Amino acid sequence: MARYKGSRINPQRFERGQIKIFLAILPLAIFMLLPIIFIFCHAFKPMDELFAYPPRFFVKSPTFDNFRDLFKSARASGIPMSRYVYNSIIVTLAVVFLSTFISSLAGFALSKLKFKTKNAIFEINNMALMFVPVAVMIPRYLVINGLGLTNTFLAHILPLISMPVSLFLIKQFIDQVPNALIEAAYMDGARDFTVYTRIILPMIKPALATGAILAFQQAWVNIESSNIYINNEGLKTLAFYMNSLANANNSVAGQGVAAAASLIMFIPNLVLFIILQSNIMNTMAHSGIK
């Protein structure tokens, strides 16, 4: 039976029986790839193709003019693009680390520790999933301003480290860790933080990878903090800078710059997802299993 399951249900090599599965999945995979293909094609379209009617999906005469215009506009600005890249890297790394650490620590507490109101806290976190960023924009500004964090890196980082969806996925993944394993560690004299670092973290790497990519996506493309909390141009991020370059040009030339900027901002997300895709799929498969 074990051999049958290993060779038929989850075969290690290609089998003819998989052809019908590939035929069923292939159209869906192609459909899901279309937006990515469009982003790449759109960035290399010359001006006449950008405004062609009817619109063209694929590029016929690819050109680098959009990227040349983008970097030409960047050179004309007072602050070099490298400064915005540096700001984005610092903010993104801080958000990814802090968000993943806090979500995993809270997920461990809500999943395996016993204390009053833990179910209520988890339900509050689930309710927070319903709120879009626009709904909390004013309260966030009041908090950041009240703490005196405007025009600091913390104004970029603090609003983004709390991620309800990351906490939900990580907590659900931690639920799969056997309680007997944790109880054995406590019997050997381990404390809560030791259990968290030595047992929980090594066993939830797929969930941590998923939380990291969600935090990266949120921080890398965020322009809200630069637009609302930051007045010092030298502290703004690359996403805000790219958006400003696209808007600074006129409505015609700005379309090419915007297309090039969109591709540049999209590529890091795509690369990170490709690297961590197996972990993400594993997390989604286990997040709802009890």
For residue 236, being part of any structural domain is answered with yes
Residue the block writes with tokens 């709120």 = 131
For residue 181, being part of any structural domain is answered with yes
Structure confidence at residue 14 (pLDDT): 66
* Residue 278 predicted with pLDDT over 70: no
Average pLDDT, stretch 267-287? Answer: 71
CB count, 10 Å around CB of 211?
A: 29
Domain count, the chain: 1
Average pLDDT, stretch 100-112? Answer: 93
Instruction: Say if residues 240 and 226 touch (Cβ distance below 8 Å).
Output: yes
186-240: pLDDT as tens digits: 888 889 899 999 999 988 888 898 889 989 989 998 988 888 899 888 889 988 8
Find the DSSP H helices in the chain: 2-4, 19-43, 47-50, 65-76, 81-112, 118-128, 137-146, 153-157, 164-174, 179-187, 192-195, 201-203, 205-220, 224-228, 238-248, 253-286
Range of the domain at 138: 81-286
For residue 266, being part of any structural domain is answered with yes
Higher per-residue confidence, 195 vs 289: 195
For residue 59, being part of any structural domain is answered with no
Average pLDDT, stretch 79-107? Answer: 92
113-164: pLDDT as tens digits: 888 888 899 999 988 888 877 888 888 889 999 999 899 989 999 989 988 9
Q: For the chain, give the longest Cα–Cα distance.
A: 72
For residue 47, being part of any structural domain is answered with no
CATH of the domain at 133: 1.10.3720.10
For residue 3, being part of any structural domain is answered with no
Average pLDDT, stretch 54-62? Answer: 85
* 46 φ/ψ angles, rounded to the nearest 5 degrees: -70, 170
* Residue 274 predicted with pLDDT over 50: yes
Structure confidence at residue 110 (pLDDT): 92
As a whole number, the mean pLDDT across the chain is 83
Average pLDDT, stretch 94-105? Answer: 94
Structure confidence at residue 3 (pLDDT): 44
Residue the block writes with tokens 């459909």 = 31
Classify residue 147 by its DSSP letter.
T
For residue 62, being part of any structural domain is answered with no
Q: The tokens of 18 are what?
A: 């998989």
71-88: pLDDT as tens digits: 887 777 777 888 889 999
Structure confidence at residue 132 (pLDDT): 79
* Residue 10 predicted with pLDDT over 80: no
pLDDT band at 279 (very low <50, low <70, confident <90, very high): low
For residue 256, being part of any structural domain is answered with yes
